[in-house]
Structure 1
Amino acid sequence: MADFDITPYRQRLAAQLVDWAQVGSAADLEAIEGGMVAPPAAFVVPLSDAPSANPLAGDFVQHVVVRLGVVIALSNLSDGEGAGAMSELSLRRSQVRAALAGWSPNEAIGWAQRGPGTLLKFNDGVLWWMDEYVTDFYERRA
């Protein structure tokens, strides 16, 4: 396996989150930086990979742990304290979790597990949140 491909995760979200305004990738997120986004939106971004040492002599086998992020953009201005946005955030995070947690695009990749989530920013009436998902695979070469 070459570099880890996040495309199946974006495709899975696009298929599952049919009532969302946009589901995209890191390139889409960069394109709207500083511009307008139509919430609710989700963007799948690569965060990191951590390969282990090769424990075998001869054949090359390396365990790789991958972290990807799902950036969620929401706008709910129904109140001045942000309770509406936080309530919607809980709902939208659970929709993403239902689509990804315990799912794998194929038998060579481990099931996605939910990692930490964090508030990225609140800007121009849009709340930006990121949840991390962790999966793994084995890279092999003879």
Structure 2
Amino acid sequence: MDVQPFLDRLKAESTAFRLLDSAAGLEQVMQEFRGATPAAFVVPMSERGAEMRHTGDVDQELHQVFAVIQVVHPKPVPGVPGLVECRRQTRAALVGWEPDEELGEPVLFLGGELVDLKPGQLWWADEFFVKSYYRSTP
């Protein structure tokens, strides 16, 4: 799953993060992150194809879930956006946006959850869903 369009959208629409990047998975991010907060990482979570009744297996719906892993300081720091502001900017940038205007639908927010709490770092994951269509040319 290509998360670059979602990362590009966040970079263009958000000012909350000192670092915005993508990663292959949560474990990789948590092991390698040594940067300043707030930071966010776009991570692919799942991708499923679904048959379309009127076209069969040739054309399919693609259901994609991705997460934006946000790392913030657990206590508010003057002049530095906290979790509430980071999440607000993330949702504002992504929800309702259509990454593929020709073959896709708007991004939807699925939910969020605490991932981890470390000294000086609160890790939060917000998950998003987007549906698009795959047209094959057999």
TM-score tier after normalising by the smaller chain length: 0.7 to 0.9
Over 3 Å counting, the alpha-carbon distance change for 1:21 and 1:58 in structure 2 is closer
Which structure is higher in strand share? 2
Over 3 Å counting, the alpha-carbon distance change for 1:57 and 1:34 in structure 2 is closer
Equivalent residue in structure 1 for 2:83, among 78, 84, 89: 89
Amino acid at match of 1:26: A
Aligned to 2:97: 103
After superposition, residues 112-123 of structure 1 pair within 5 angstroms as: 112-123=107-118
Aligned to 1:33: 31
- How many residues align? The count is 133
Amino-acid identity (%): 32
Q: Deviation above 4 Å: which 4+ runs of structure 1?
A: 56-59
**Root-mean-square deviation (CA), in Å?**
2.6
- Residue 136 (str. 1) matches residue 135 (str. 2): no
- Residue 127 (str. 1) matches residue 122 (str. 2): yes
**Cα distance in 2, alignment partners of residues 19 and 88 from structure 1:** 9
**What TM-score do you get using the length of structure 2 for normalisation?**
0.83
**What TM-score do you get using the length of structure 1 for normalisation?**
0.80
Residue 16 of structure 1: how far off its partner (Å): 1.6
Amino acid at match of 1:122: L
Over 3 Å counting, the alpha-carbon distance change for 1:135 and 1:78 in structure 2 is closer
Q: Deviations over 1:99-128 (max 9, x none)?
A: 000001221221100001110001121000
Over 3 Å counting, the alpha-carbon distance change for 1:111 and 1:131 in structure 2 is same
**Cα distance in 2, alignment partners of residues 110 and 78 from structure 1:** 36
Gaps of 5+ in 1: none
